[in-house]
A and B are shown apart, each in its own frame.
Chain A
Amino acid sequence: MANTDWSDEAIVSGIRRGGAAREDALKRLYLMPGLRETVARHVLSNGGTPQDAQDMYQEALILLDRNIREGRYEARSALSTYFVAIAKWRWVTVRRQQGRYTDISPSQYDREVDSPEVETIRTEYRGLFQEALAQIGERCRELLRLYQLDYSMEEIANTMGYNSADVAKKEAYRCRQRFRELLQNNPHFAALLENRP
């Protein structure tokens, strides 16, 4: 049943629960009145276009979802404030990547993001990850997405039509091994593994 009481706690707990609850919660946040306008005002008044504003709004939701799932959100501010802070951080980062001067340092938003090391890997190896994911097949991609979102093996079996949780587990392992092999075959990724911190 849909949650009609959408407090910050309800949204956060929905995202943490995963599945349909996560989707409902994210949709609620995405369509929250006024939130999009707040982000747009910031981007537009800092050299961005309406398309940039839309991009930052969507990226903020992606980052917020990940931060909550990975336990980085500590509820020290209202969720909407946190959301806007993420969007602002992301916009500062994009402007720096474009070589545009900005007087706000990304470090002002450090609490909103991954460690610099993880962020660098995420950015620099994105193309490589995408290439590997493109080769594992649609079914493996869907299975690994559910696995990444912490679905139980029973849920994965039901969703994907496997006979049992055990079959789903074996498939997840097989898909993951395939993904691993593809990554390992890439010399850039092999070098990253060699030079781990």
Chain B
Amino acid sequence: MLRFEQIERYLSDKMTPAERSAFETEMASDPELEALVYQHRLERIGLELLVERDLRAKMQAWDRETELFQQIRPSRARVRPLVWALRAAAVVTALAVGYWLLHDDTAQPATPEVVQTPSKPKAKTAPTWRKPAPQRTPPADSPANIAQEALPPAPIEEMAPAGTPIDYAAVADDFFRESDFVLPQGSKGGSIAYWEALKNLQEGRLKEVTDAIKPERAPLASSETLLQQELLAVAYYKSQRYADAEMAFRHIAASGKQPYVQRAEWGVVLTLLKQMPQRLAALDSALDVILRQPEHLFHEKAQQLRQRLQR
């Protein structure tokens, strides 16, 4: 651990000139140390991805803040009539309540729900200004329904096995929509190559798509590359090459570029569904990623999917 700290101090430029000089002398005469420093240097390059990913998320949040601010400002004028309407409604309500209180004695017999409980009878109940909310009683034929609604959705691992096993592949087919991942016809974006590949995809020539577009290992920087990699992921999916599709979607998700990231996160969920039951934990985690973000493009679908899996 001492050597670890020493190398890190060297690479992050925290050594004094004397320490640095001594360390470099030692390194020059010790090839193993030199190799270890090189290894640390490479690892630090990799760890920069964590900083980058975090900063990308922050930039998106700053953009959203700015957009929200711009949306809120012009809408203030529209809020004013609403405030007046609410005030008027409040006055009308107050008058109605006052009228009701004045006539409370006559109203009392007709409102049995204000009587507290039979065990604590009162000679005279105090006038109430608001009717209590009606008690929700579970329907007799499904007593567990309401209690279940109040519980948060259980992780997939905790689900009790139901009578019949889930056909995950069929569930995936129900949720998969090609249009979620490709540009709609007539869109402005996309190169000629993209549209040709899309045509092949839509006409079932999947091999032509997977031959024409190579999986990228480098960071996905441009929109065109991201669009093409999305097409490739969908082509893999439709060719039943689910592990390849998952890899392609995950690489897009790592780009940090919206809306590709959110679409790819949903793609990962669908490819994992196709690889069930082996990928149970991964599926649960991928669903959580989407469910943690209410503004996510596929939040509602993810909710529906989790409910379906819990049935």
Interchain CB contact under 8 A, A126 and B49: yes
Interface residues in A50-75 by Cβ distance below 8 A to B read 51-52, 55, 58-59, 61-62, 65-66, 71
Q: Which residues of A contact B4 (CB under 8 A)?
A: 173, 176
- Chain B min CB distance to A47 (Å): 11
Interchain CB contact under 8 A, B223 and A55: yes
Interchain CB contact under 8 A, A26 and B58: yes
Q: Which residues of B contact A150 (CB under 8 A)?
A: 12
Question: A49 interface residue, CB < 8 Å from B?
Answer: yes
- Chain B min CB distance to A95 (Å): 9
| Complex CA distance for A169 and B251, rounded to whole angstroms | 31
| Complex CA distance for A189 and B45, rounded to whole angstroms | 13
> What are 22 A-to-B residue pairs whose CB atoms are below 8 Å?
A31-B62, A31-B66, A49-B223, A58-B56, A65-B55, A71-B13, A94-B221, A94-B222, A98-B222, A122-B45, A123-B218, A126-B49, A130-B250, A133-B47, A133-B50, A145-B54, A148-B48, A148-B50, A176-B43, A179-B43, A183-B42, A196-B35
Mark contacts of A174-186 with chain B using CB atoms, 8 A cut-off: 1 yes-contact digit, 0 otherwise: 0010011001000
Q: Which residues of A contact B45 (CB under 8 A)?
A: 118, 121-122, 125, 129
Which of B35, B48, B59 has a CB less than 8 Å from the CB of A61? B59
| Complex CA distance for A121 and B225, rounded to whole angstroms | 20
Question: B1 interface residue, CB < 8 Å from A?
Answer: yes
| Complex CA distance for A30 and B56, rounded to whole angstroms | 11
Mark contacts of A85-128 with chain B using CB atoms, 8 A cut-off: 1 yes-contact digit, 0 otherwise: 00000000010011000000000000000000010011111111
Interface residues in B191-221 by Cβ distance below 8 A to A read 216-219, 221
A residues engaging B (CB < 8 A)?
Answer: 23, 26-27, 30-31, 49, 51-52, 55, 58-59, 61-62, 65-66, 71, 94, 97-98, 118, 121-130, 132-134, 141, 144-145, 147-150, 169, 173, 176, 179-180, 183, 189, 192-193, 196
Interchain CB contact under 8 A, A130 and B251: yes
Question: B64 interface residue, CB < 8 Å from A?
Answer: no
| Complex CA distance for A51 and B226, rounded to whole angstroms | 11
| Complex CA distance for A134 and B251, rounded to whole angstroms | 11
| Complex CA distance for A187 and B13, rounded to whole angstroms | 30
Given A94-B221, A94-B222, A127-B217: A192 in contact with B51 (beta carbons within 8 A): no
Q: Which residues of A contact B306 (CB under 8 A)?
A: none
Q: Which residues of A contact B13 (CB under 8 A)?
A: 71
Given A98-B224, A123-B218: A144 in contact with B58 (beta carbons within 8 A): no
Interchain CB contact under 8 A, B59 and A193: no
Which of B54, B219, B254, B257 has a CB less than 8 Å from the CB of A123? B219
Question: B163 interface residue, CB < 8 Å from A?
Answer: no
Mark contacts of B267-281 with chain A using CB atoms, 8 A cut-off: 1 yes-contact digit, 0 otherwise: 000000000000000
Interchain CB contact under 8 A, A125 and B46: yes
Question: B39 interface residue, CB < 8 Å from A?
Answer: yes
